[in-house]
Amino acid sequence: MNNHRSVVVRLKSVSKRFGPVAALRDVDLVVASGRIMGLLGENGAGKSTLMKILYGLYSPDEGEIYIDGKAVRFRSPQDSILYGIGMVHQVSTLVPEFTGLENIVLGTREGRFQFSLTRERKKIQTLSAQFGLLFPLDQKVSALTAGEKQKIEIVRALYRGARVLILDEPTTSLVESEFVQLLTSLRRFVDGGVTVVFITHKIREVMAACDEVTVLRRGEVQGNLQRHEMTKDSLVKLMFMDRNIAVTESALPLIDHVDVALSLQPVLSFDGVSTSTLRDLSFQAYGGEIVGVAAVSGNGEKDFAELPINPKRITKGTASLMGSPINGWSTVDVLRQGVFYTPEDRNHEGVLNEGSIVENMLLGHHRDSRFTRWGHFVDWPRLRLDTEASVSAFNVATPDIDVAIRRLSGGNVQKTILARAFLRDPRLLIVHNPTSGLDISTVEFIFSRLEGSRQAGMAIVWVNEDLDELMMLSDRIVVLNKGRIHGTFVRGEFDKLAIGASMLGESA
């Protein structure tokens, strides 16, 4: 390997605080040209913050940025773009109402008062072809898949002449085959003289993609490894220090599905169920199993997760709980049967941010006779007692239960929501992306609770965007595509490529 690569970007002693939280402490980073540099760390380690500073979105409290050895100061992305920095953000930053072409030319300097995009179109098509990033130019972005949107974002950065391309968790919404495609494109960028910074929290991806990796933990650099020094163990050690992170492989399934289907009654059952967005679903979840639901975001997975608590949406077919049809039932009726649902968007749909922990704990249990007196009054002493108990059982880090939810971290909010679900042992638990954006110790904790519930005979429907996680814990994985069940995979025959293909709607 060439040891005399020039340094494109050097970040020197960068620090950044958000209020009382130190997001970055004295971070040094050197990015050599023509390589794929990994930036590895847990959620909240400071990877995105560091790169948003390089991109000019955040300004550092301390520290300097050097591009090609020259000290620079970026006040907005407009400045960093001029120096050839491009960034593809974790959350799509494309305007859904605009076409791909419009999104790409957005913000470029030339021809601000003209609108004929013929020249621009040509240039974009050339770039797309060169790097193997093909997507429709004239369709509204809102109609495109996550993979296509990502290609547009990458081309947008290259179109602006990016020499350093930052990709922030680029694989979040990609299925396996798209990830493989992305890797090919990354290699082409490097051959074309572009330097890539690849942000991820997955060791597997670093091993597959990067020439070099810098590991961050709690806002500090833990170390830098070259390709030949990278092993799973060395990376794990840098990422988590000595914390034990062995996520247990799921124990053997408690039940054998072939027998079970004949003898046991499913907790939740859909029989040819359709709604305005879902088509002809037949699906069972039994007590003592975790059913994973995999889908590329926007294929009806949210409506699927909400269906059991909102059976009024059903237009055709029958949904049953413990054998009794629930068509036409209200949410209250369903919840009374011991169903609990934790939504995907925890801060907007899961909790009242301004309410305290104990107030939030009551939601969904407010009709439970355990927490009411004389019919309609809240039994606060009883509720406080139970809240105290479950907050400590779920390790929610908080000084007391009167703290407003918005003061808790994402992980603690999620733990509170789960603690609430377990306040009364549910028979059916529906969880949607319960681990997104959480650090590994919280993820592990949630996994252990899910597994514990399964052992206790609960039925768990787990809709999740992260396929690796699903494969770790599920007994079965059901794939949704365009509102239909497109495939079912049983533990033992999980295959990331096959499931990914099914998620994209390809037949096996």
Partner 1 sequence: MVGFSSILGQIIIYTTIYSLVALGIVIAGRTGVFNVGGEGIMLTAASTGFMTAYFSGSWLSGYFVAALTGMALGLMLVLVHEYLRVNQFVIGIVMVIFGAGLSDLLYKIIVGVRLQAPRAPRVPLIRIPGVSTVPVLRALFNHDPIVYFMYAATAIAWWFFYRTKIGLETRAIGELPQAADVVGVHVRRRRIIATAVGSSLIGIAGAYLPIFVTGTYNPDLSAGRGFMAIGIAIFAGWRPQRAILGGFLFAAVEVLSFQLQLSVPGVPFQFFLMLPFASVLLIMVVFRRFIDFPASIGKPYHRE
Compute φ and ψ for 356, nearest 5 degrees.
-80, 170
Q: Alpha carbon of 152 to those of 165, 356, 360: distances in Å?
A: 13, 42, 41
Interface residue with partner 1, options 26, 33, 66, 77 (CB under 8 A): 77
Q: Least distance (Å) from partner 1 to the CB of residue 120?
A: 9
State yes or no: residue 163 binds partner 1 (CB under 8 A): no
> Within positions 137 to 156, which residues make up the interface with partner 1, using CB under 8 A?
156
Which tokens hold the place of 379? 């039994």
> Within positions 434 to 463, which residues make up the interface with partner 1, using CB under 8 A?
none
State yes or no: residue 103 binds partner 1 (CB under 8 A): yes
State yes or no: residue 329 binds partner 1 (CB under 8 A): no
Q: Kindly tell me which of 111 and 298 has the beta carbon lying closer to partner 1.
A: 111
State yes or no: residue 197 binds partner 1 (CB under 8 A): no
| Nearest-angstrom CA–CA distance, 240 and 216 | 10
Length of the chain: 508
User: Strands 428-432 and 459-464, how do they pair?
Assistant: parallel
State yes or no: residue 18 binds partner 1 (CB under 8 A): yes
Interface residue with partner 1, options 7, 21, 71, 106 (CB under 8 A): 106
Number of Cβ within a 10 Å radius of residue 489: 21
Cβ-Cβ contacts under 8 Å for 8 (sequence gap 6 or more): 31, 32, 33, 67, 68, 163, 164, 195
Q: Kindly tell me which of 49 and 442 has the beta carbon lying closer to partner 1.
A: 49
Interface residue with partner 1, options 107, 192, 272, 298 (CB under 8 A): 107
DSSP state string for 224-288: EEEGGG--HHHHHHHHHTT----PPPPPPPSS-HHHHHHHSPPSEEEEEEE-SS--SEEEEE-TT
> Within positions 360 to 419, which residues make up the interface with partner 1, using CB under 8 A?
none
State yes or no: residue 55 binds partner 1 (CB under 8 A): yes
Interface residue with partner 1, options 4, 70, 112, 376 (CB under 8 A): 112
Q: Least distance (Å) from partner 1 to the CB of residue 44?
A: 15
State yes or no: residue 97 binds partner 1 (CB under 8 A): yes
State yes or no: residue 22 binds partner 1 (CB under 8 A): no
State yes or no: residue 105 binds partner 1 (CB under 8 A): yes
State yes or no: residue 298 binds partner 1 (CB under 8 A): no
| Nearest-angstrom CA–CA distance, 73 and 80 | 9
Residue 125 exposed, middle or buried by CB count within 10 Å (0-12, 13-18, 19+)? middle
Q: Which residues of this protein are in contact with partner 1, per CB under 8 A? A: 18, 55, 57-58, 76-78, 81, 87, 89, 91, 93-98, 102-103, 105-108, 111-115, 156, 160
